[in-house]
Structure 1
Amino acid sequence: MRRSSVIDQAAAKQALRQEMRSRRKAMPQAEKASREQRLCRRFLESSLYADCRQLFCFVALPQEPETRELLRRALADGKTVAVPRCLPERRMAFHRLSPEQPLESQLVSGSFGVAEPLETLPVILPDAGQAPLCLVPGLAFDQNGGRLGYGAGYYDRFLRAYPFLRKIGYALSPFVTDCVPTEPTDQRLDGIATEISLEVWNG
């Protein structure tokens, strides 16, 4: 990619980040909570969830779609559930949660104020034989698999290492836009779950 194109893409990403952050702040809390409940229910009722035996999922920040109830349900359903911890060099490790302990007792405040798993929990890797699925956070998504993250590249690095891992954006519908600017290092998703629909394009 030419240098001028890279600069243009970076500027377009930054503008979209600002727009989506403003949209997040403007959404009333009651509306956000209602949409989140519908999103969680739609995902948990899907064949996508039923088929996966390994679930890799983020622990939501306050401005992101809440995931704690989803994590509890997946643990109760007997799935292998793992959440990420940030490592040096903008890498991530996913640690397996225990169904025997309360969720919050297995989390601590980590990098950037994100709730992360205790380091003592076992690290697990995606296993192609377990129909692994990763729910991916972001600021914006499009219906071509484009995703706008926060700019650090943690998920892109992780997802690139496991091409067989099904990658699904997990978002509220106001944050699905026509086109997300992407670069060659950005990993395209296989689908997106919102409170309105669950679409899978690859696999």
Structure 2
Amino acid sequence: MTKKEIRDNILKKRLDLDQEKYEKYSQKIVEKLRNQIKKWDFDSIALYYPINKEVDVLPLIEELLKTQKKVYLPKVLGKQMKMGRVKSLDRLIKGKFNIPEPIEEEFSSKIDLYIIPAIAYDFKGYRLGYGGGYYDRYFLQNPKTHLIGVIFNFQLISSFPTHSNDLKVDFIITEKSEIEILNV
């Protein structure tokens, strides 16, 4: 299958996911994510605003905003993506793809931990996104620290065609498993 066929197939499955299962699976993933990030010593964390039934991390964002941690969300500027600081989910504005983004122009590329959505991940940690290459380009220009991919279990696939610039995460969390990616 081509990347486009995989993308279309998995996105359809995700959009068709029953609302009750979506909420239940998201809660399980966020709980595992909470436990995982407690293990890391971090001051700053980048997450995402969920669209198209991506894992709902909004409760985790709300919790993190109440702590001393610096929270960042992606902001698209032309063909580039930057990580903009968020101090409240009420201070977001619809961006280029109609995705809520930070209003402030306080950007950082020195982020300790990233939580990254995807259409799919494979067992080697490679990410298949929507096809725009924003995360791939971002990490070509910014340091890769600790990268955690979050998806539903049906989005985890054995393999797909990859390129040298494709983003690879260190850890994948689904509602059923936690997979540490070993660099072999």
Task: Decide: shared fold, TM above 0.5.
Answer: yes
Q: Is 1:191 matched with 2:180?
A: no
Measured at CA, do residues 47 and 124 of structure 1 come closer, stay the same or move farther in structure 2, by a change above 3 Å?
closer
Task: List alignment gaps of at least 5 residues for structure 2.
Answer: none
Question: Which of 82, 106, 109 is 1:122 aligned to?
Answer: 106
Whose Rg is larger? 1
Give 1:77 shift: 2.8
Q: Is 1:58 matched with 2:48?
A: yes
Give 1:157 shift: 0.7
Measured at CA, do residues 77 and 196 of structure 1 come closer, stay the same or move farther in structure 2, by a change above 3 Å?
farther
Question: Which of 2, 8, 18 is 1:12 aligned to?
Answer: 2
Q: Is 1:97 matched with 2:82?
A: no
Task: List alignment gaps of at least 5 residues for structure 1.
Answer: 1-10
Query: Paired residue for 2:136?
Result: 156
Give the partner amino acid of 2:63: R
Measured at CA, do residues 28 and 49 of structure 1 come closer, stay the same or move farther in structure 2, by a change above 3 Å?
farther
Matched residues, number: 183
Question: Which of 91, 96, 104 is 1:106 aligned to?
Answer: 91
Give 1:48 shift: 5.5
Q: Which has the higher helix share?
A: 1
Contact 1:109/1:115 (8 A) holds in 2: yes
Measured at CA, do residues 75 and 149 of structure 1 come closer, stay the same or move farther in structure 2, by a change above 3 Å?
same
Query: Paired residue for 2:13?
Result: 23
Q: Is 1:87 matched with 2:77?
A: yes
CA deviation map 1:14-51 (0-9, x unaligned): 11011102211321111111000011011102256643
Q: Is 1:134 matched with 2:114?
A: yes
User: For structure 1, which segment, 47-56 or 61-70, has the greater mean C-alpha deviation from structure 2 after superposition?
Assistant: 47-56
CA deviation map 1:79-116 (0-9, x unaligned): 1111111011x211111112xxx42x211111111111
Percent identical: 26
Measured at CA, do residues 114 and 47 of structure 1 come closer, stay the same or move farther in structure 2, by a change above 3 Å?
closer
Give 1:63 shift: 1.7
**CA-atom RMSD, angstroms?**
1.8
